[in-house]
Amino acid sequence: MTNVTLALPNELHVRMKRRSEIRWSEVIRQTISEKLATLELMDKLAGKSKLTKKDAAVLAEQIDGSVAKKLGLR
């Protein structure tokens, strides 16, 4: 198994130390695994898409406009 060094803010480290019963390395392994699974699924779905980057940008702009309208920002 490979070891990875992680830099944490001091406050976060202090909070983690208060929960010494937690196996933080296992929590981090699971979190990384879940994130990778999500990214791999996104890659798989995007690979099947026929949308161009321009199409995606137009859709994103429309969604942003719709959300802004619902929030009363437009």
Contacts of 16 (CB under 8 A, 6+ apart): 8, 22, 24
Q: State pTM to two decimals.
A: 0.63
Specify if 41 maps to a domain.
Answer: yes
| Residue 5 falls inside a structural domain | no
Domain count, the chain: 1
Residue 1 included in any domain: no
Residue 29 domain-assigned (yes or no): yes
Q: Which of 27, 28, 26 is nearest to 6 (CA)?
A: 28
Q: Which residue range(s) make up the domain with 21? A: 10-70
In a domain, 4, yes or no: no
Per-residue pLDDT of the chain in tens (74 residues, 90 and over written 9): 999 999 999 999 999 999 999 999 999 999 999 999 999 999 898 888 888 889 889 989 999 999 988 899 87
In a domain, 22, yes or no: yes
